[in-house]
Amino acid sequence: MAPTTAANVGLAARDASGHLSPLTIARRNTGDNDVAIKIMFCGICHSDLHSIKNEWQNAIYPIIPGHEIAGVVTEVGKNVTKFKAGDKVGVGCMVNSCQSCENCNQGFENNCPGIIFTYNSVDRDGTVTYGGYSSMVVVHERFVVRFPEAMPLDKGAPLLCAGITVYSPMKYHGLNVPGMHVGVLGLGGLGHVAVKFGKAFGMKVTVISSSPGKKQEAIERLGADAFVLSKNAKEMQAALGTMDGIINTVSANIPVAPLLGLLKPNGKMILVGLPEKPIEIPPFALVSRNKTLAGSCIGGMADTQEMIDMAAKHGVTADIEVIGADYVNAAMERLAKADVRYRFVIDIGNTLGDCAAAASE
């Protein structure tokens, strides 16, 4: 095991209150296959909120969340070939896997039984992983993504989770075919990126949302073709049986049956949202007209690189609200109320040091 000496500070939750405050931690020294990264920006994913509040009952406190990491390489190990100091890079939801099973060999590290998540996971050396609400991170090069030149670090950071999580199911469930009709359920961090990828793939995109206030910007700013207010029975009725697929990004427990009704025969709903409690499916809602309900967990590393390269080519970035590290608890409260357009991104590089210094005074 490599010695752990590099000093580092992060924002940690100590209990299920989820309150985040500075914590000094150690990162391992840069190993032969590792890339050391100075973190500049980190997106706030709703999974961070679920995790710090222990909504999935798997918290290992203290938790330093953050898996939408964008930064600059400061050092590489001697076997590293893909990166050098000064490169703009990203890290998403995984920092390790067994790297030798069938899944890993096929590029689906996300399906590896030995997957190590970027935070709240026990790494192969026995240490608990800490995420990107921190000053630096050391990651095996396999799990580092190159930022295309045209991709800004702040608006690109959310693609490392939100981007790949919607891109991968679109690709593998055939929802990337020009002219097809895809519904994006829930217009948050994941949802708004799904709209942009849907349009980049040449699809017809309809947003299905519980927030009437998002209609105008969904169409005018994000480029959606249509908007269905899920609480409006008339609008739901008009959209019945019209969609080839729905990407379900909703973070809360909502009735799924009426939404399955929006699918065409043989249509697919791909679940990526991870609400706290089980989802109820009345059998007839799925069986009638041959519907499919599938799940999808982030995506593999090759697909993550492919996704960010395509995003750069098509000008797909996240719509963000950049915040200082001292605003993170307020941001979490707003995220819980879906009050963000559409992703908070922490300016780690410019604000984390001051936030930690102020807390230690």
Question: Should residue 175 be labelled a site residue for ligand NAP when binding is judged by CB under 6 A?
Answer: no
Whose tokens are 């959310």? That residue is 158
Among positions 103-162, residues that touch ligand NAP (CB under 6 A) are 161
Provide the greatest CA pair distance for the chain. Answer: 63
CB atoms within 10 A of CB 264: 17
Interacting residues of 234 by C-beta distance below 8 A, sequence separation 6+: none
The single residue among 72, 98, 254, 359 that binds ligand NAP, judged by CB under 6 A, is: 254
Smallest distance from the beta carbon of 253 to Zn ion, in angstroms?
A: 19
Q: Which stretch binds ligand NAP (CB under 6 A): 99-107, 148-156, 272-280, 345-353?
A: 272-280
Does residue 66 interact with ligand NAP by CB under 6 A? no
Site string for ligand NAP, 285-324 (x = CB under 6 A): -----------xxx--------------------------
**Which long-range CB contacts under 8 A does 350-353 form with residues at least 24 apart?**
350/324, 351/324, 351/325, 351/326, 352/9, 352/11, 352/133, 352/134, 352/135, 352/325, 353/9, 353/135
332 binds Zn ion (CB under 5 A): no
d(CA 349, CA 71): 9
| Number of other residues whose CB lies within 10 A of the CB of residue 92 | 31
Binding partner of residue 219 among Zn ion, ligand NAP, none, CB cut-off 5 to 8 Å per kind: none
Does residue number 52 form part of the binding site for ligand NAP (CB under 6 A)? no
Tokens of 171: 């690709």
Closer Cβ to Zn ion, 65 or 267, answer by number = 65
Q: What is the smallest separation between the CB atom of 310 and Zn ion, expressed in angstroms?
A: 19
Give the CA count within 13 Å in the CB-facing half-sphere of 284: 1
Q: Which of Zn ion, ligand NAP, none binds 286 (CB below 5-8 Å, type-dependent)?
A: none
* Nearest distance, CB of residue 268 and Zn ion, angstroms: 22
CA distance 326 to 11: 10
Contact region for ligand NAP (CB under 6 A) — 17-25, 78-86, 196-204, 244-252? 244-252
Distance, first Cα to last Cα, the chain: 35
Give the residue, chosen from 161, 203, 222, 246, that forms a contact with Zn ion under the rule CB under 5 A: 161
- Distance of closest approach, residue 129 Cβ to Zn ion, in angstroms: 14
Residue 250 binding partner per list Zn ion, ligand NAP, none, with a CB distance cut-off of 5 to 8 Å that depends on partner kind: ligand NAP
Q: How many residues bind ligand NAP (CB under 6 A)?
A: 29
Please identify, using beta-carbon distances, which residue of 193 and 310 lies nearer to ligand NAP: 193
Choose, by CB under 6 A, the member of 64, 76, 239, 250 that binds ligand NAP. 250
Task: Tell me which of 219, 236, 274, 286 binds ligand NAP, using CB under 6 A.
Answer: 274
Contact residues toward ligand NAP (CB under 6 A) are: 45-47, 50, 161, 165, 186-191, 209-211, 214, 249-252, 254, 272-274, 296-298, 335, 338
Contact residues toward Zn ion (CB under 5 A) are: 45, 47, 97-98, 101, 104, 112, 161
